[in-house]
Amino acid sequence: MLEIGPHNKEASIKNLGLVTKRARYNARETPLLETALQRNEGRLSRSGGLVVSTGQYTGRSPSDKHIVDEKTSTQSIWWEGNNRISPEHFEILKTDLFDYLKSCEVEVQDLECGADSENSVSVRLVAELSWHALFLRHLLRRPDLRETSTYVPDYTIVNAPGFKADPKRHGTKSETVIVISFDQKIVLIGGTEYAGENKKAAFTIMNHIYPAVGILPMHCSATDAKDGVSGSAIFFGLSGTGKTTLSSDPTRLLIGDDEHGWSDSGVFNFEGGCYAKTIKLSREAEPDIWHATHSPATVLENVVIDPESRQLDLDDNKHTENTRAAYPLSILNNTSPDSKGAAPKNIFLLTCDAYGVTPPVSRLTPKQARTFFLLGFTSKVAGTERGVVGATPTFSTCFGAPFLTRNPEVYADMFEDRVSRSDAKVWLINTGWTGGGAQNGKRMPIRVTRLLINAVLDGDFEAVSFRRDPLWGTMVPETGPRGTVQYLNPRSNWEDKDEYDKASADLASMISQRLLDQGIENDLIGQF
């Protein structure tokens, strides 16, 4: 086995029992880009980005994710939300996947999760594909090369897309597998080229580790005030609900776009990059993300490219609605220098309401906030997961159910405690539909959502009167910035008021049943 590049020789991947034809450690962006092109893993765009196809799967495969049922961790795992795999099956899987990699030339990236240096977690990636190494190098935090001589991974992700699992032999659900052993501190991924599995595997690790040390892991974006007055803000939401878009604000500093921790010291980013949806991306509406998408070495997943001019076509969804750009925070000009912020003054719960009956902005009490946090009502949007082709109403506990390893009450208790101690205001934001449902309404204009959020951050709603929303029981401002008032009462935007009432009743019934089934205390008043 040939090992090249800077790394701690005593912490070689050989220590895992993994021997490959060649292992290149900690290659930087340009060599990784060159190798990916040499291997025909992607094509170079006109602006110098790497355009890749993720093959059969253009989204995550949550049903194929497993946790090893081990004595050291089994009592702490939320098994109702996670698939078990036996230690015996895991050992067979690991042996077979490692055997597959013996003839491969792999990339090894020594990376970090967590901008809080006292609580950062070292995550190493061993990747069959060079573009996967470039992807995760963009998205996680990159230690100084001088630190690699002493680097020892806390966890290792081994990703071999060409390896196909055998459900009978390996105890998996299909040929695709994502399996985590918290005892051996290793993640095995096979049968999918979708690079987001690497990122979310790291996030799942953080969701398991951090609660034990009093840090709330959050599936959210975060910004900080430039003036040091209006404070930091966090945006919870599933992929496609607007976390990245709404945190890209030239008037504020970006802490991060997707994964954060909330400790006694405040909020900090887990990552060192962004993973933005690019379908129908507008240069005018989202200039920072557009610029990053058109920057050298950005990884562009399933984006359509002209074969001759190499120009990107961000409006074409022929491969998937879930087209993505992965790029480092260093590309952006408007970022927090240390990826940290004080405890938030405002918390936004983003819901993509496919029923079209939720107000664009409303304020929740602390108890309502806990209930909605556990409820996690939203809609999956096309492409983010396999099999999702349209807006599908769903529930994602704590806004991150696929990544939770512990009982949701653990995260909810921490969330309620943090909100209480920080005295933060919590707001429900509908980035879904208005004037009708997903079939006959229209998406809430991003301009309207931005204006309402900025009004919250600027304190403009402090002196206005509120009315109680008849559905959710949350408090809706009766006035707002110019161009937003007509959206504040969802019913008034529907031509057919009877259809609105029916949609509202249908949603109320679904929510009521969900709360009952999950044993969640109902602090959302309204029709429930």
Tokens 């599995």 sit on residue = 197
Q: What are phi and psi of 420, to 5 degrees?
A: -65, -45
Which member of 142, 324, 370, 406 is catalytic? 324
The reply to whether 124 belongs to the active site is no
Question: Cβ contacts of residue 307 below 8 Å, gap of 6+?
Answer: none
Starting at the edge strand found earlier in the chain, the sheet holding 324-328 runs: 43-44, 50-52, 299-301, 324-328, 273-277
Q: With 0-12 CB in 10 A as exposed, 13-18 as middle and 19+ as buried, what is 143? A: middle
The reply to whether 244 belongs to the active site is yes
Which member of 244, 248, 434, 449 is catalytic? 244
Q: Any bridge partners for residue 253, and if so which? A: 224
Question: Cβ contacts of residue 514 below 8 Å, gap of 6+?
Answer: 375, 377, 395, 520
Question: Cβ contacts of residue 457 below 8 Å, gap of 6+?
Answer: 225, 230, 233, 252, 346
Which member of 65, 66, 132, 243 is catalytic? 243
Which member of 60, 132, 137, 199 is catalytic? 60
The reply to whether 258 belongs to the active site is yes
Contact 260, 344 (CB under 8 A): no
The reply to whether 252 belongs to the active site is no
Q: Provide the terminal-to-terminal Cα distance of the chain, rounded to the nearest Å.
A: 63
Which member of 124, 141, 199, 200 is catalytic? 200
Which member of 7, 65, 137, 219 is catalytic? 219
Q: Shortest CA distance to 401 belongs to which of 60, 150, 161?
A: 60
The reply to whether 324 belongs to the active site is yes
The reply to whether 245 belongs to the active site is no
What tokens were used for 94? 């690991």
97-116 burial code (b ≥16 CB/10 A, e <16): bbebbeebebbbbbbbbbbb
Distance CA 203, CA 137 (A): 15
Which member of 156, 239, 248, 336 is catalytic? 239
CB atoms within 10 A of CB 174: 14
The reply to whether 243 belongs to the active site is yes
Q: Which residues are catalytic?
A: 60, 200, 219, 239, 243-244, 258, 324
